[in-house]
Amino acid sequence: MANPEFDIKRPTMIGDTADISLQKTIQILRSEGINPTVVMEFSPSNPGTLCGLNEVKTLLEKILPESGSEAWAVEEGNSIQAGEVALRVKSPYASIGLYETAITGILSSSTGWASAAKECVNEAEGTPIYSTGAKNVHPNVSATMDYASIIGGCLSCSTILGARMSGVTPITIMSHSLSLIMGDTVRALQSFDKHTPQDIPRIALVDTHRDEAEEALATARALKDRLRGILIDTSSERGGVTVNLVKEVRARLDLAGFQHVDISISGGLTPAKIKNFIESKSPIQSFGVGSYIASANSNPFTGDIHEIDGRPIAKRGRIPGVTINNRLHRII
């Protein structure tokens, strides 16, 4: 994966998104002339797939002084255990304290998304998964969510920025809107074919106007060898995509001589539904997963001071001193 470029926005840099208690702490310590060197450790509440460290590293590079600071972390995308130290930062408190909220927030959300994606990828047993959940989150975080999904094992995603950050090509298909406005699936696909660069695979959406098998055959006859695949995204009002529906469409395509046309499905997919399709040996070449990844619960991270000017310390209930984790490697 290419080195992603994360945009750390001004409100984060000036502390407007920080818990106000941290703002007050910095203010008081500055007024008292107190600025010890601390070691802070960040750990998840639950096991999962670690994500967000590259974004946190971008933040740390902006806020930490060039000397007297260092950061250690588990590698992005690795599995982590509940309570495992995923990030350790040593720094003057005045440099790091205000950003505890941002660091834990980045790690919590991104790890939640990546872990949900990993669940789907595991159940797919090698069948590609694409992240299509941008419409389910705020646009300020949609690309970050897509990036996290790819860290979790998705092959690609639907947003341009998320794909750019991840160093992949976004998945491009025709939309329901195009088909509805054009009034016909074949006409919409032909226009898509006309106005789309040749290196982008032609994938027809075949559930908009008529029976899925009927539209699949019509689009295949229209584009012939240029049609790479079809996407079935049958609405829940029509029962959604089922194992039998996929098998019927595959059989009708094969009988008509269109064995080269792949079948992809989407629409409310979860790990359990993906597992059902895989166990049923459904002839599916890829899954598009949206809401399950986008709406995943965050994996809450905590940030704790474990050392002050070389003296081991911790709040009650936690062990004072630096926590040993041989998986940590220096990132700053």
* Mean pLDDT computed over 111-127: 98
pLDDT on residue 5:
83
Is the pLDDT score of 269 beyond 60? yes
- Taking a C-beta distance cutoff of 8 angstroms, is the pair 232, 199 a contact? no
Complete domains list, the chain, with CATH: 10-112+297-330 (3.20.140.10), 125-294 (3.20.20.70)
Residue 80: the pLDDT is: 98
Type of residue numbered 249: V
CB-facing half-sphere around the CA of 63: CA atoms within 13 A:
28
Half-sphere exposure at residue 61, Cβ-oriented, CA atoms within 13 angstroms: 12
pLDDT at 295 over 70: yes
**Residue 1: band (very low, low, confident or very high) from pLDDT cuts 50, 70, 90:** low
Q: What is the pLDDT of residue 38?
A: 98
The secondary structure of 212-275 as a DSSP string is HHHHHHHHHHHHGGGEEEEEE---GGGT---HHHHHHHHHHHHHTT-TT-EEEEESS--HHHHH
Residue 275 has pLDDT above 90, yes or no: yes
Question: In this predicted model, what pLDDT tens digit does every residue of 26-57 receive, in sequence order?
Answer: 999 999 999 999 999 999 999 999 999 999 99
Mean pLDDT of all residues in 261-273? 97
Q: Mean pLDDT over residues 204-209, rounded? A: 93
d(CA 121, CA 111): 15
- Sign of torsion over alpha carbons 167, 2, 105, 98: negative
Secondary structure element (H or E) that encloses residue 168, with its range: none
Q: Which two tokens stand for residue 236?
A: 């829940």
Q: What is the mean pLDDT of the chain?
A: 96
**pTM of the complete model:** 0.94
Phi first, then psi: give them for residue 188, nearest 5 degrees: -65, -45
What gap in Å lies between CA 163 and CA 147, rounded to an integer? 7
DSSP designation for 171: P
- What integer pLDDT is reported at residue 92 of this predicted model? 97
166-177 pLDDT, tens digit each: 999 999 888 999
Per residue in 120-159, pLDDT (tens digit) is 999 999 999 999 999 999 999 999 999 999 999 999 999 9
Separation of alpha carbons 187 and 178, rounded Å: 10
Neighbours of 254 (CB within 10 A): 12
**55-88: pLDDT as tens digits:** 999 999 999 998 889 999 999 999 999 999 999 9
The band of 2, judged by pLDDT with boundaries at 50, 70 and 90, is low
Task: Report the DSSP pairing between strands 156-157 and 202-205.
Answer: unpaired
Contact assessment for residue 322 and residue 40, using Cβ atoms and an 8 Å cutoff:
no
Do 263 and 232 form a contact (C-beta atoms < 8 A)? yes
Handedness of CA 234, 237, 240, 246 (dihedral sign): negative
- Residue 85: predicted pLDDT: 98
pLDDT at position 4 is: 79
Answer yes or no: are the C-beta atoms of 12 and 59 closer than 8 Å.
yes
What is the average per-residue pLDDT within 234-246? 93
For 57-81, the DSSP string reads: HHHHHHHS-SSS-EEEEPPTT-EE-
Q: How far is CA 89 from the centre of its chain?
A: 25
Indicate the Cα dihedral angle 122, 123, 125, 126, nearest 10°.
Answer: -70
For the chain, give the percent of residues with pLDDT over 90: 95
Give CA–CA dist 207/154, Å, rounded.
24
Report d(CA 321, CA 305) in Å as an integer: 9
Lookup result for tokens 């609405």: 235
DSSP state of 297: P
Whole-number Å distance between alpha carbons of 50 and 117: 12
